[in-house]
Amino acid sequence: MTTLLKEELLRLARILLIFAIPGWLLHLSVQASFLGLFVYLALRLRSLHKLHHWLKTNPHEPPPELSGIWEDIAENIYRLQQNEQVAKQNLLAIIARARTSISALEEAVVLTDGQGNLEWWNSAAEKLLGFKDPIDYGKPIINLIRDPVFIRYFEHGPYNEGLKLPSWTHPNRYVQYEVTRFGHNDRVLIAYDITRLHQLEQMRKDFVANVSHELRTPLTVLSGYLETFADSEDLPPRWHRAFKQMQQQSLRMNNLVNDLLMLSRLESDVVKQEPKPISMPILLEKLRQEALAYHADKEQRIVVKVDSPLRLMGIETDLRSAFSNLITNAIKYTHARGEITVRWSHDEKYGYLSVHDNGIGIEPQHIARLTERFYRVDAARSSETGGTGLGLAIVKHVLLQHKALLNINSKPNNGSTFTCIFPREMLVD
Ligand code: ADP
């Protein structure tokens, strides 16, 4: 039995005894015992009332004077409360510190609730995004940042890649947005100014485009003279080989310049052509004929299979270059008399343009990097085949412009399949 319980029983016994003695003297023992019990109960009820009153009115003050078990309960409650108070103070201090450090950040930090309404933001958000304290609290963020591209990104994601957009408050500036979900669909938005990075990227693009453009004219002149000399009957025989090589190299440079210009055009945000429906059987047959004409020496079989009657919405010249690059690669990296199959098909979700060959294939460690500019599995072999190293980079960019993806499936010595996967919305009857 606990000491508290023993004390309580002793208290009861004492009260009963006080009443029992006069009761015994007056021959009213039973009534006296009841009276004693009643007094004990009344005292306990008074303590309970005091405890209740303290908890209700002023629980943070020290407890009232009580006795016995109630005193112990009140002290325990008071101690727990004190501990809780200290923990709360500590937590508040941590939150205040976190807020101060987030407020000091140069990046804009914005918290939104499950409905996308503004809950909190730091001062950088006021400068960068123009939010106003306190009138914007509780407003939907998409009512304040109204760019449709941002709205689509914020509402539907995907959030794994950020979003780069021109600033809607400061003309000529660029902002990178990154959203992360937490809790129950709450979101934190981090935004920062990337104008400098954007300018540097733009300078790089302009530089490549300008250099490529400037190289075009001298190259055309050189190629023209080389062709004239190579065809000339006066050319001494020992020069024949040299001129042939010069012609080959100038052709390579020409291809390189053309590919660089095409990549620059695809990268620039300015050129936006209207997509049009493309008849795939006609396009693929044209590409087949071209490929056969250019690579007749390899005597390969090129089969076109059209398993879908749907047309593809897109920019025909760009898609044509992309598909042509895939077919040319299939021819280049497949032995003579190999077989290449070009197939157009669709299912409920996607349209597929695949180019399959039974050529040399690719080691798995190279596959993820193939669409990088100038990435080559085997530099010697690629320059032999006259490739620029830009073909698959062009394919990737063209597909990006068409909301499509490139899937590469390949095994060394066992052929490769390059598949362009188009969303179903790009396909029409
Ligand atoms: P390149 O001009 O060198 O062909 P690409 O960007 O078109 O440049 O291709 C990059 C690399 O991918 C090539 O160097 C080649 O090694 C590899 N590759 C592309 N297509 C195929 C294919 N069908 N079979 C085997 N390797 C391929």
Q: Which of 424, 397, 373 is nearest to 322 (CA)?
A: 397
Please give the domain boundaries of the chain with CATH numbers for all domains. Answer: 3-99 (no CATH), 105-193 (3.30.450.20), 204-267 (1.10.287.130), 276-428 (3.30.565.10)
Contact by Cβ (8 Å): 255, 321: no
Mean pLDDT of the chain: 89
Q: How confident is the model at residue 420 (pLDDT cuts 50, 70, 90)?
A: very high
Our answer on whether the CB atom of 376 is closer than 6 Å to any ligand 1 atom is yes
Task: Identify the weakest region by mean pLDDT among 24-28, 136-140, 328-332.
Answer: 24-28
Ligand 1 atom closest to residue 394's alpha carbon, by position in its atom list: 6
Distance 219 CA to ligand 1 centre (A): 25
Distance 294 CA to ligand 1 centre (A): 18
SS (H, E, C) the chain: CCHHHHHHHHHHHHHHHHHHHHHHHCCCHHHHHHHHHHHHHHHHHHHHHHHHHHHHHCCCCCCCCCCHHHHHHHHHHHHHHHHHHHHHHHHHHHHHHHHHHHHHCCCEEEEECCCCEEEEECHHHHHHHCCCCCCCCCCEHHHHCCCHHHHHHHHHCCCCCCEEEECCCCCCCEEEEEEEEECCCEEEEEEEECHHHHHHHHHHHHHHHHHHHHHHHHHHHHHHHHHHHHHCCCCCHHHHHHHHHHHHHHHHHHHHHHHHHHHHHHHCCCCCCCCEEECHHHHHHHHHHHHHHHCHHHCCEEEEEECCCCEEEECHHHHHHHHHHHHHHHHHCCCCCCEEEEEEEECCCEEEEEEEECCCCCCHHHHCCCCCCCCCCCHHHHHHCCCCCCHHHHHHHHHHHCCCEEEEEECCCCCEEEEEEEEHHHEEC
Instruction: Give the model's pLDDT for residue 1.
Output: 60
Q: How confident is the model at residue 185 (pLDDT cuts 50, 70, 90)?
A: confident
The predicted model gives 354-378 an average pLDDT of: 92
Our answer on whether the CB atom of 395 is closer than 6 Å to any ligand 1 atom is no
The predicted model gives 138-150 an average pLDDT of: 91
Strands 301-306 vs 339-346: parallel, antiparallel or unpaired = parallel
Ligand 1, atom 2: nearest CA belongs to which residue?
387
The predicted model gives 206-215 an average pLDDT of: 92
Calpha distance 383→363 (Å, rounded): 19
Instruction: Give the model's pLDDT for residue 270.
Output: 57
Our answer on whether the CB atom of 392 is closer than 6 Å to any ligand 1 atom is yes
Distance 394 CA to ligand 1 centre (A): 12
The predicted model gives 227-241 an average pLDDT of: 83
Contact by Cβ (8 Å): 18, 10: no
Our answer on whether the CB atom of 387 is closer than 6 Å to any ligand 1 atom is yes
The predicted model gives 229-254 an average pLDDT of: 86
Place of tokens 């809950």: 119
Cα–Cα distance list, 406 to 322, 355, 423 (Å): 11, 11, 12
Distance 376 CA to ligand 1 centre (A): 7
Q: How confident is the model at residue 66 (pLDDT cuts 50, 70, 90)?
A: confident
Contact by Cβ (8 Å): 129, 191: yes
Cis peptide before 166 (omega within 30 of 0): no
Task: Identify the weakest region by mean pLDDT among 235-244, 284-293, 311-320.
Answer: 235-244
The predicted model gives 411-426 an average pLDDT of: 94
Task: Identify the weakest region by mean pLDDT among 349-363, 374-388, 397-411.
Answer: 374-388
Ligand 1, atom 20: nearest CA belongs to which residue?
329
Instruction: Give the model's pLDDT for residue 295.
Output: 81
At residue 154, does pLDDT exceed 60?
yes
Instruction: Give the model's pLDDT for residue 235.
Output: 81
At residue 222, does pLDDT exceed 70?
yes
At residue 62, does pLDDT exceed 90?
no
Distance 10 CA to ligand 1 centre (A): 96
Place of tokens 């157009």: 344
Our answer on whether the CB atom of 377 is closer than 6 Å to any ligand 1 atom is yes
Instruction: Give the model's pLDDT for residue 210.
Output: 93
User: Given strand 163-166, what is the order of strands in its sheet?
Assistant: 118-121, 108-112, 186-193, 174-182, 163-166
301-331 pLDDT per residue, tens: 999 999 999 999 999 999 999 999 999 999 9
The predicted model gives 148-175 an average pLDDT of: 88
The predicted model gives 127-145 an average pLDDT of: 90
Instruction: Give the model's pLDDT for residue 161.
Output: 83
Ligand 1 atom closest to residue 383's alpha carbon, by position in its atom list: 3
Ligand 1, atom 18: nearest CA belongs to which residue?
329
At residue 344, does pLDDT exceed 90?
yes
Calpha distance 342→420 (Å, rounded): 11
Instruction: Give the model's pLDDT for residue 382.
Output: 61
Our answer on whether the CB atom of 252 is closer than 6 Å to any ligand 1 atom is no
